Amino acid sequence: MIKIVFFAALREQLNCAELSLAADDAKTVNDIKQLLSDKNEQWQQTFSNTSLLSAVNHDMVDGSHLVKSGDEVAFFPPVTGG
Amino acid sequence: MSNQSHLNEIAIQKEDFSLAEEVFLLEKDNVTDGAVVTFTGRVRNNNNGNSVTTLTLEHYPGMTEKSLAKIIIQAKERWNIGRVKVIHRIGELSIGDQIVFVGVTSKHRQDAFAANEFIMDYLKVKAPFWKKEKINGAGKTSENWLAAKNSDTNKAELWS
């Protein structure tokens, strides 16, 4: 399984903080995005936002990054700390 | 760099911090560094013309610490610096509250000045924190997630 987590405005828009996907269903971060977009119109609209960032196992990555079972994949808006 | 020393250098906490205490720790038994540069970020009472009442900080536990540790390593590679401390608060904060602290020591001031600014600039665009503000406008209270600023991205890119 791959653990997927969402943060901040994205979490609120999806009304979801975390979910799991079967590792066989996705090879890359972009595959996961596509699977999530396919859930329904709300998720599709939310993931059409091109400014969303992604991380795998706590490192920022781009969409072509490979994923495997046991990974933690995160999606979130551009950061605004400091 | 051992993990242990990073644990001493990074704190993500709900509690407030004391500038005096942090400066004391940066200076304690430190006889080689002549410069101590500190930055403190605080909650402003206004943003884009709106009156802010509270600011709530969310973060990504685990990734936040990892990204700050990477930023500190980069700073140590670029400048000849001694001690580093980064504190970032989370949770609900009020006007005037301290949000973030960056302290850097070095033999001479230039390294500590530059490294401190670099750490703040990179923290702003790389560390997974998000601010939500509660604002009063036209008699109404509303909550907004802050949008990332291009000026912060541009500032961070100046270091690359």
What is the per-residue pLDDT for A38? 95
Evaluate whether residue A82 is within a structural domain: no
Nearest CA to A16 among A34, A40, A51?
A: A40
Evaluate whether residue A81 is within a structural domain: no
Determine the residue type at B140.
K
Q: Three-state DSSP class for B97?
A: coil
Q: Which domain holds residue A27?
A: 2-76
pLDDT tens, position by position, B9-67: 999 999 999 999 999 999 999 999 999 999 999 999 988 778 888 999 999 999 999 99
Q: Which residue has the higher pLDDT, B137 or B124?
A: B124
Q: Which of A55, A74, A79 sits opposite B148 (nearest CB)?
A: A79
- Please give the CATH superfamily to which domain B3-157 belongs: Molybdopterin biosynthesis MoaE subunit (3.90.1170.40)
Nearest CA in chain A to B151: A80
Q: Does A50 touch chain B (CB under 8 A)?
A: no
Nearest CA to A71 among A11, A10, A17, A1?
A: A1
CB pairs under 8 A between A and B: 73
CA distance B135 to B48: 11
CATH code: domain of residue A45: 3.10.20.30
Contacts of A12 in chain B (CB under 8 A): 145
A60 - beta bridge partners?
A: A55
What is the per-residue pLDDT for A73? 98
Average pLDDT, rounded, for chain A: 96
CA distance A27 to chain B (A): 22
Mean pLDDT of B140-156: 93
Q: DSSP string of A17-82? A: SEEEE-GGG-SBHHHHHHHHHTS-HHHHHHHT-TT-EEEETTEEE-TT-B--TT-EEEEEPPP---
Total domains, chain A:
1
Q: DSSP string of B2-68? A: -HHHHHHHEEEESS---HHHHHHHHHTT--S--EEEEEEEE--SEETTEEEEEEEEEE-TTHHHHHH
Does the pLDDT of residue B129 top 70, yes or no?
yes
Does the pLDDT of residue B1 top 90, yes or no?
no
Which regions in chain A score pLDDT beneath 70? none
Ordered by start, the domain boundaries in chain B are 3-157
- Calculate the CA B36 to chain-centre distance: 16
Residues of B with CB under 8 A from a CB of A: 41, 57-60, 62-63, 66-67, 88, 99-100, 120, 123-132, 145-148, 152
B37 - beta bridge partners?
A: B104
CA distance B70 to B98: 23
CB contact under 8 A, B145 and A77: yes
